[in-house]
Amino acid sequence: MAVRAQFENSNEVGVFSKLTNSYCLVAMGGSENFYSVFESELSDVVPVIHISIAGTRIIGRLTAGNRRGLLVPNSTTDQELQHIRNSLPESVAIQRIEERLSALGNVIACNDYVALVHPDLDRETEEIIADVLGVEVFRQTVADNVLVGSYCALSNQGGLVHPRTSVQDQDELSSLLQVPLVAGTVNRGSDVIGAGMVVNDWSAFAGIDTTSTELSVVESIFKLQDAHPSAIVGKMRDSLIDNYS
């Protein structure tokens, strides 16, 4: 299910929240309305955690993560780190990273299996990403933009990329990620996909200005029409039974 939301007066849902298959982070201090949209969709499945990073609310741009782990920048205070650690599920690893490109959400785009990263990211950071998130890491650009996290949104079902991504680039990225990709926009024509929406395997949240056409593209590429956690588990079970029968 794809839902529209708004943080105070901003459409940039992906700036103020981070969504994975095992947790959801939202920025502290926004309107109650913003939280309630997330909580009504997610709260019976994954925890919705209110956090700040380095005292700021732009948590979606400063953090990167998937269901296995969460990466936070070096500027995160000990108190914030402890709060996040206490709130996350036991199975999720959290790691503070010393990295020059400290807006990790802008320079890392990942799902539960593959991460695309900024070409200039430290070698050490690349190893930490592979280790903590349990993913294969590829240095890539999206439509010649180095900020891969800003210009695409990924889940394990599909991906939405910058509208000017060439067909060759889409094919290359799609074969790296092993999921279908489509070029598109959110928030009535915004090409900053990562900042404009968040998505996991059964739900997506985009800015309030997102048109119904954009929303239907999101629902079809991320396969959200009949996606709720029980349907996904059922599908996994079916495929396992097929494999072993």
Neighbour count for residue 141 (Cβ, 10 Å): 17
State the DSSP string of 131-174. Answer: HHH--EEEE--BTTBS-HHHHEEE-SS-EEE-TT--HHHHHHHH
> What's the confidence (pLDDT) of residue 244?
65
Q: With beta carbons less than 8 A apart as the criterion, state whether 171 and 149 touch.
A: no
Q: Side chain identity at 7, as an amino acid letter?
A: F
Distance, in Å, from the CA atom of 229 to the CA atom of 135, rounded to the nearest integer, reads: 22
DSSP classification of residue 43: T
Which structure tokens are listed for 144?
């010649």
Sheet with 69-73, side-by-side order of all strands? 64-65, 69-73, 93-97
> What's the confidence (pLDDT) of residue 127?
95
> What's the confidence (pLDDT) of residue 245?
59
Distances 130 to 21, 71, 81, 234 between C-alpha atoms, Å: 18, 11, 21, 29
pLDDT in tens, the chain (245 residues): 889 999 988 999 999 999 999 999 999 987 788 889 999 988 789 999 999 999 999 999 999 999 999 999 999 999 999 999 999 999 999 999 999 999 999 999 999 999 999 999 999 999 999 999 999 999 999 999 999 999 999 999 999 999 999 999 999 999 999 999 999 999 999 999 999 999 999 999 999 999 999 999 999 999 987 655 555 555 555 665 666 65
Residues 6+ apart with CB under 8 A from 66: 20, 21, 110, 111, 112, 133, 134, 135
> What's the confidence (pLDDT) of residue 1?
81
Q: Side chain identity at 165, as an amino acid letter?
A: T
Indicate the SS3 state at residue 45. coil
Among the listed residues 89, 35, 38, the one whose alpha carbon sits nearest the alpha carbon of residue 67? 89
Q: With beta carbons less than 8 A apart as the criterion, state whether 84 and 102 touch.
A: no
Which structure tokens are listed for 104?
């990790």
> What's the confidence (pLDDT) of residue 115?
95
